[in-house]
Homo-oligomer: A and B are copies of this chain.
């Protein structure tokens, strides 16, 4: 995607908070979300400074009209708008930027304070797929689960490995996550028992949200795949490691990852991220042509993980960057569709845990503590895995001529339910 006026670093908004240094939501960002204020109705908006521009109200007033003759912002999800495709996304983004521009702005726009708004899940998550695209993560987990000699599976350097996740439990930042029950069996236990997971973990990921899809039976190129992406969110793929290790052979993770997946509330558009695209890591082996990229699609996106025990302040326990991912979202989607699998509006594609090359850049407690052996220090104690009341917050931002912030992706662990 070529740069245009919406990427102009000199552009300023008539909303002062959007021009403040370090603001996550300058006029160059304009991420999309779904919010409600006191009247409770879900509305679509874009973040600008410390405010939200109510796009549902703009459409009702005829100020923006992405689909002439019908409303696409009235359903409380971005899906109807996303289905209109990249040309409409881009034109609408340009129109909103013009409305907010210091030179051309209309100061009588429907704006609400972010502070008083409740954020909701921005999309109907049609399907959720989770990949495994960090070589460092795959190597670390493989070493722990299968030994150093079998760490990286033989297929890993040839294809983006992924699995279908559970869309029904994709929730927005701020939703409590109940500790899961599951079958637990230590290596020397004769039989499993049912109990609350004792190895509850997070996974730091980036989520790509598909705006458009492909027909069943019709694979796509990486170029087409990239154009299907509406935007990105931060994603926490909560994981129960003790459940996982007992259940995952031979058909993959199931209940160990089915109880909750948290995403950040603001969808940062692919178009906004265009200035922060960077080359991927060097290829260890040649890829098959359907995975070739004619332009890079990795993102230079700084990431960090905060952990706050109940009643304690947060400690940043890891810092990394999405640029480390071995496979881009475009490659993942091209692989996802190679069989003829239909991708659809609202599909959520998790990158897989993002781990960097250093021990403090790992994206899960499993790796940070090496399966509990080396606990991390947090306010008031240490953690091998998550305890009830722990709050985990993922943060992410691109920094260049300006800053593009992602909203925080937070979840707090609630106690396990009673067995049924």
Contacts and interface: CB of A to CB of B under 8 A. Distances in A.
Interface string A194-227: 1000000000000000000100111111001000
B335 A290 contact: no
Query: Which among A193, A285, A337 has the highest number of chain B CB atoms within 10 Å?
Result: A337
Nearest to A258: B341
Copies of chain A in the complex: 2
- Chain A interface, >50% SS class: loop
Interface stretch (A18-26, A89-97, A412-420): A412-420
Interface string A299-338: 0000000000000000000000000000000000011111
Interface residues of A, number: 74
Contacts of A178: 216-217, 340
Contact of A342 (B169, B252, B255): B169
Interface string A104-146: 0000000000000000000000110000100000000010011
A130 to B, nearest CB: 8
A260 interface: yes
A194 to B, nearest CB: 5
A188 to B, nearest CB: 13
A169 B219 CA distance: 13
A194 B342 contact: no
Contacts of A341: 166, 168-169, 255, 258-259
Contacts of A166: 127, 164, 341
Contacts of A49: none
Interface string A44-68: 0000000000000000000000000
A339 B180 contact: yes
Contacts of A224: 420
Contact of A338 (B163, B255, B285): B255
Contacts of A159: 183, 192, 247
Contacts of A126: 167-168
A300 B350 CA distance: 41
A289 interface: yes
19 contacts: A127-B127, A127-B168, A158-B185, A158-B192, A161-B254, A163-B163, A163-B252, A164-B258, A168-B213, A169-B342, A178-B216, A180-B340, A191-B285, A192-B288, A219-B420, A250-B252, A252-B253, A259-B340, A290-B420
Given A153-B249, A166-B341, A258-B339, 6 more contacts: A132-B251, A142-B250, A146-B250, A155-B183, A178-B217, A258-B341
